[in-house]
Structure formats: C-alpha cells, structure tokens
C-alpha cells in the first residue's frame, strides 16, 4: 500500500511545518467518513482532510473544494463543540505506525483550558478518527462507533476509556540499528523479513529496500538500509507519482523497483490530491448513484428485450408478400378450385408459372380462402409499418439510457441531482414532494485551452441542453464524440485555433463512453448548424456540415486544461 508508516513519517514533517500553532476556524464533514478542518496558520488559510474511508483513508492538506450536506452530521457537531477555535499544539506519529495524533488546547464553555487529542488511525476498513479528552483519557466520540460485541480488545464509544490500537511488536525503523541477517535469503524471504521485523513497511517499501540491497551489493545491507531511511528526511523527500499504463502509485521519493512514467509534485499533499481526487470522488459518486444506475440499467435491459421481440415480429411480416401472392393466384384460378379441398397446387404467374402449394380451409369457399389471404396480408403490412416505428422509438430509448449510463459514469456529486430530476421529469422516477427544496442546478466543467480560450463541457443532459441551445452563441463551436454517448463541448470562440479545436476534441473524447479508447472520432461543427428535433429526448441534437477529428483521450491532458 502506498500510504504506509514510512509515508506517514514523511507526511508528519510536512503537516507540522504547515499546521502546528494554527487555529481551527471551521469544521466540516462533507461525507460520512471524512472531516475537513479549516486552519489559520502562518497567516494562511489551509484545509486539512482527515479520512477514515475504508479504501482511501489518509491525512493530507487539500485544495479540492468539498460540498457540505444541508445539515451537519452528529460527529461534525461534536468536533465543532470541542475544537472550534482550538489551537494545534503538536502533530505526532505513533512510532512508525499509520496513526497521527493532533494535540489541541482549547477553552470550554466555562472558559477553562482543555487539552484534547484528535487521533487518526489509518487501518484500512478499521480506520477511525477519535476525539479524546487527554488528561482523563476518555473517548469523547469517534467517527465510527465500535461496540464491545464487534471488538473485544477495545470499545470505541463515547465515554469509554481510550485504548490505543494494539502494538505490532516490531522495531521502529528510524531507531533500528541491526542486525541484518538477509544476505543468505532469497528475494521473497528478504521482503518477508523486512515486513515482519520493521514497523510501517508496506509491501512496496519492503520491495524497494530489498531491490536497493540487491543492486548495491558493494555496500553492506546495513549501509543500504541507512541510506534508504535518510530519504525520508524533509530535505530529501521528492513526492513522486509513478504511472504504468492504467496503474498509478504515489511515493515520498522515486522507488527504483517500480517501472513507469515519473511525475514530481511540490508536496506530499498535492501528490495525494492528484492521486485520490478521481478515485475517492468516483467511489462517492458510485455510492450515491447506485440506485440511479440500477434504475437506468433496468430500463435499458427492458428495451433491449423489447427490441429483440419487435425485430422477431418484423421478420415474421416478411411472409406478407407470400400471402398476397397466394391470394392473387387463388383468385385467378377460382374456377379450378372446389370447396372442401385442403390443398391445391396452382401455377404461380409471378414465378414463371412454377407450381405453388396453397393450403385451404375446407369449410370456406375458394373466394373466402382468397379473401382470408388478403386480410392476413393487410394485417401484416400494417404491422410492419407499426413495428418499424416501434423499433425506431425503442432504439432511441436505448440510446437515451446508454447516454445516461455514460453520464453517471463520469458524473460528479453535484451532477447527480440534475440526472435524478431529469428522470423524474421523464416519468421514469417518482416525483419528489413539492415541500422539499429543489437542489441547485450543477454547472458545466470549465477548461482553458493552451492559448487561453474558454471551453465548457456539459456532463449531463440538463447541462448539455443549456450549453448548446441557450448559453452558446451561434458563432461558437461545438464538439461531440461521433455516434456515441458523450458530453456536449462548447468552444467559446468564433475562430478557435486548430490547437484549441484538438484540445476540445480530447475533452469530448474523454467525457464520452469511449474515454479509455486509443482513437476516438469527434465531430466538430459551428453551433448554428445544430438543431433539436421536436419531442427529442434531453441532450439529443442533430447537425450537419461537421468535420471529424480522431484523438486519444488522456486524463493528464484533461487535468492540464482544467481552469
């Protein structure tokens, strides 16, 4: 795991320099497991994120804006009661474990000085954020309650005595001085020895240390170890993101054992902002959009089955002409057919008088049998027209739901309310009570091209219609992934440069169903060429006179364009 005890050690130095002595000015809890502390320190305002997320638990400074719920959760209110206006006295790491202790001094409602600790335990699905009264060692509250029935070692409930997480009985690697009995071990066993002996060594860090030992055999294992540990000092930390295809990992400095492209960052917190933003945001969106995704998927699958049934029925209508031919041949030879016959073979004048077998109803006259064929023919002919219309409508419905699924896959939290409301307006979702306050409409994503041109991207149908049909000027330019679900992209310029057009195409490809493809066709056309058919679904438009570009979507390119 990237966020191991060694990383926390390096991060502690960064947090101490920025936050120690700072005063808490605001406390927010935007999501269930995450706290934001707004801190005024060194004449600057900074935001400190404390996360007990089961997958993305961490501590970091962040510049990402978070939206807060209408009413603060209970734990947020507790923190505000005790920590609002409090001063951070110290930030310490427990040995080399993934635990950070923020020590505060604050005045209570009576004006008396209180000493409190906010302890962040980064332990995967057992991660937690604990507020402790330091002098009497009592737990005031925890972001996640753990009763004795769940954990016999310690209870994490308000009023319980605080008991630290169990020790690992390993050596603190920053104090360890040997021995290093690894020379005779194979690589796998060396890694195992490092992790079982030294506290806070994640798998990647153990692999890196062993890699350095095995590539610097001229030095003793102890010397290599000491050089490795020195890399975690504040003056030598070099925050690095390593990308290998779709895999990414973040490190406090370059790990030679990991292959891939290196990207350096100014701080460990900015590195984590880059690494976690998409992952944690996507996780939160998936949780909140789960019901919408299931609903849209259900409608898509229903229409998929309906389409298969309609196409089968349409294929059956191909027999219509055969019925007409039989009716006409039978009419032409009525004088040769007698009532009571079950079958007759007659010359088919449409096929050079080749014989055609016609099955008859013996209870009907030849004329009535002929009329029966004509009636069935007319019925199938009418059905063919109706089925063709139904197939077109069903395909349009499937395309609409496919678009919604794409939008849900790229949506931010603020986009979900727009999509939810669109489904209500379309009658696919029960309308909300009129007493409930309507959420604010989300805004399109804003980007700036390399030459300074504004580019706007709609991430749901409400934004798409607003952008293309209302906000954009007729002289502006529009881009969209060709024939696939995706976002409307508006270049707010009448004469954009070729580079700006290509960058807009990258955005259109990235915010489309084919964002992971290597070559995506994107249509570009002036807004005046775009029309919305009467009765068309939200977000659907038609256009002509387009040029098509082929681009490769890239997350890094999109981040570079973000305004």
Residue 378 pLDDT greater than 90, yes or no:
no
Assign 106 to helix, strand or coil: strand
pLDDT in tens, 124-144: 999 999 999 999 999 999 999
Among residues 11, 14, 66, 57, the alpha carbon closest in space to that of 38 is found at: 66
What's the confidence (pLDDT) of residue 246? 78
Helix residue ranges, H only, 317-431 = 320-332, 366-410, 413-425
Alpha helices per DSSP H over 231-267 = none
Q: Is the pLDDT of residue 438 over 80?
A: no
Q: Report whether pLDDT(420) > 80.
A: yes
pLDDT tens column, 244-297: 887 889 999 999 999 999 999 999 999 999 999 878 777 878 888 889 999 999
pLDDT tens digits for range 473-527: 999 999 999 999 999 999 999 999 999 999 999 999 999 999 989 899 999 999 9
Of 76-90, 410-424, 448-462, the least confident:
410-424
| Cα Rg of the chain, angstroms | 34
First vs last Cα of the chain: how many Å apart? 32
Domain range 5-161, its CATH number among 2.160.10.10, 3.40.50.1980, 3.90.1150.10, 2.30.310.10: 2.30.310.10
C-alpha pair distances (Å), 11 with each of 15, 99, 208, 240, 351 = 6, 11, 19, 13, 87
Measuring CA to CA, which residue among 494, 452, 460 is closest to residue 475? 494
In this structure, the number of other CB atoms found within 10 A of the CB of residue 349 comes to: 14
239 contacts 267 by C-beta, under 8 angstroms? yes
Residues carrying CATH 1.10.287, the chain? 285-409
- Give the per-residue pLDDT at 488: 97
Phi, psi (degrees; rounded to nearest 5) at 526: -75, 145
What pLDDT, on a 0 to 100 scale, did the predictor assign at position 435?
58
Residue pLDDT, tens place only, 161-201: 999 999 888 999 999 998 999 989 999 999 999 999 999 99
Name which CATH class applies to 285-409: mainly alpha
Q: Who's near 444: CB < 8 A, 6+ residues apart?
A: 456, 457, 458, 459, 463, 466, 467
Q: Identify whether the C-beta of residue 166 lies closer than 8 Å to the C-beta of residue 159.
A: no
Tokens of 63: 């510049």
Angle at which helices 203-215 and 221-230 cross, to 10°: 130
Name residue, tokens 């009763």: 147
Mean pLDDT of the chain: 92
Q: Model confidence at 444, in pLDDT bands (50, 70, 90)?
A: very high
- The whole-angstrom separation of Cα 89 and Cα 102 is 8
- Per-residue pLDDT at 147 exceeds 60: yes
Q: Are 48 and 36 in contact (CB under 8 A)?
A: yes
Distance between CA atoms of residues 83 and 88, nearest Å: 10
Q: What is the mean pLDDT of residues 400-406?
A: 94
Q: Where in the chain is the domain with CATH 2.30.310.10?
A: 5-161
Provide the percentage of residues in the chain whose pLDDT is more than 90: 75
**Amino acid 411: pLDDT:** 87
Inter-axis angle of helices 320-332 and 366-410, to 10 degrees?
Answer: 170
> Which strands form 445-448's sheet, in the order they lie side by side?
445-448, 454-457, 489-491, 477-481, 520-526, 547-551
Q: Provide the pLDDT for residue 385.
A: 86
The distance of Cα 516 from the centroid of its chain, to the nearest Å, equals: 13
Contacts of 544 (CB under 8 A, 6+ apart): 525, 529
CB 88 within 8 A of CB 13: no
* Percent of residues, the chain, with pLDDT higher than 70: 98
How far apart, in whole angstroms, are the C-alpha atoms of residue 137 and residue 131?
Answer: 10
Residues in CB range of 442: below 8 A, 6 or more apart: 412, 414, 415, 417, 418, 459, 460, 462, 463
Confidence at 433, pLDDT banded by 50, 70, 90: low
DSSP class per residue in 366-389: HHHHHHHHHHHHHHHHHHHHHHHH
Rounded to two decimals, what is the model's pTM? 0.74
Q: What pLDDT score was predicted for residue 65? A: 85
Q: What is the pLDDT of residues 356-375, one digit of tens each?
A: 999 999 999 999 999 999 99
pLDDT band of 76, cuts 50, 70, 90: very high
Contacts of 44 (CB under 8 A, 6+ apart): none
- Residue 443: pLDDT band (50, 70, 90) is confident
Tokens 């089961």 correspond to 54
CA distance 410 to 504: 17
**Whole-angstrom Cα distance, residue 504 to residue 194?**
49
Q: Dig out the tokens for 154 from the structure.
A: 């310690």
SS (H, E, C) 185-227: CCHHHHHHHHHHHECCCCHHHHHHHHHHHHHCCCCCHHHHHHH
Looking at 33-37, 63-67, 251-255, which range is the least confident one? 63-67
pLDDT category, 69, cuts 50, 70, 90? confident
Q: How far apart are CA 482 and CA 548, in angstroms?
A: 8
Alpha-carbon distance of 155 to 149, in angstroms, equals 9
* Per-residue pLDDT reduced to its tens digit, 37-56: 999 998 999 999 999 999 99
Position 563 pLDDT exceeds 60: no
For 27, the token pair is 């406390």
What local confidence, expressed as pLDDT, does residue 186 receive?
96
Mean pLDDT of 399-423: 90
Residue 167 has a pLDDT of: 87
């Amino acid at each position: 795991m990237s966020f191991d005890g060694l990383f926390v050690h390096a991060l502690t130095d960064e947090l101490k320099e920025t936050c120690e002595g700072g005063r808490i000015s605001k406390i927010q809890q935007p999501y269930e497991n995450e706290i934001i502390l707004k801190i005024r320190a060194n004449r600057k305002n900074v935001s400190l994120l404390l996360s007990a997320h089961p997958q993305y638990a961490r501590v970091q400074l962040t510049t990402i804006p978070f939206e807060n719920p209408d009413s603060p959760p209970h734990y947020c209110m507790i923190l505000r009661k005790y920590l609002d206006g409090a001063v951070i006295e110290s930030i310490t790491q427990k040995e080399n474990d993934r635990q950070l202790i923020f020590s505060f001094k604050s005045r209570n409602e009576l004006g008396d000085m209180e000493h409190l600790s906010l302890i962040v335990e980064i332990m995967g699905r057992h991660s937690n954020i604990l507020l402790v009264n330091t002098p009497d060692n009592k737990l005031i509250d925890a972001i996640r309650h753990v009763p004795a029935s769940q954990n016999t070692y310690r209870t994490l409930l308000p009023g319980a005595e605080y008991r630290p997480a169990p020790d690992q009985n390993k050596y603190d690697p920053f104090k360890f001085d040997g021995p290093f009995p690894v020379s005779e071990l194979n690589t796998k066993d060396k890694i195992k020895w490092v992790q079982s002996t030294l506290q806070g060594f994640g798998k990647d860090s153990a692999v890196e240390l062993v890699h350095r030992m095995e590539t610097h055999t001229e030095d003793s294992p102890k010397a290599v170890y000491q050089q490795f540990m020195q890399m975690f000092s504040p003056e030598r930390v070099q925050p690095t993101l390593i990308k290998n295809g779709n895999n990414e990992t973040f490190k406090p400095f370059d790990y030679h054992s990991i292959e891939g492209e290196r990207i350096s960052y100014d701080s460990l917190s900015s590195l984590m902002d880059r690494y976690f933003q998409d992952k944690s945001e996507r996780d939160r969106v998936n949780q909140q959009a789960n019901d919408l995704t299931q609903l849209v998927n259900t409608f898509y699958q229903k229409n998929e089955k309906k389409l298969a049934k309609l196409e089968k029925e349409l294929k059956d209508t191909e027999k219509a002409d055969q019925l007409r031919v039989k009716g006409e041949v039978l009419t032409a030879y009525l004088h040769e057919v007698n009532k009571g016959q079950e079958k007759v073979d007659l010359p088919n004048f449409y096929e050079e008088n080749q014989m055609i077998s016609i099955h008859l109803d013996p209870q009907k006259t030849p004329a009535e049998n002929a009329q029966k064929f004509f009636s069935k023919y007319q019925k199938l002919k009418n059905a063919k027209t109706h089925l063709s219309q139904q197939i077109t409508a069903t395909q349009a419905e499937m395309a609409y739901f496919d678009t919604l699924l794409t939008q849900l896959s790229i949506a931010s939290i603020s986009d979900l309310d727009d999509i939810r409301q669109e489904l209500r307006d379309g009658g696919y979702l029960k309308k909300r009570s009129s007493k409930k306050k309507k959420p604010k409409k989300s805004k399109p994503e804003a980007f700036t091209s390399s030459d300074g041109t504004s580019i706007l991207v709609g991430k749901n149908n409400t934004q798409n219609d607003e952008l293309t049909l209302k906000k954009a000027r007729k002289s502006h330019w529009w881009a969209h992934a060709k024939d696939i679900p995706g976002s409307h992209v508006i270049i707010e310029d009448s004469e954009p440069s070729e580079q700006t057009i290509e960058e807009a195409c990258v955005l259109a490809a990235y915010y489309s169903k084919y964002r992971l493809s290597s070559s995506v066709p994107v249509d570009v056309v002036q807004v005046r060429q775009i029309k919305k058919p009467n009765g068309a679904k939200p977000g659907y438009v038609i256009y002509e006179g387009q040029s098509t570009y082929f681009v490769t979507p890239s997350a890094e390119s999109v981040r570079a364009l973000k305004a």
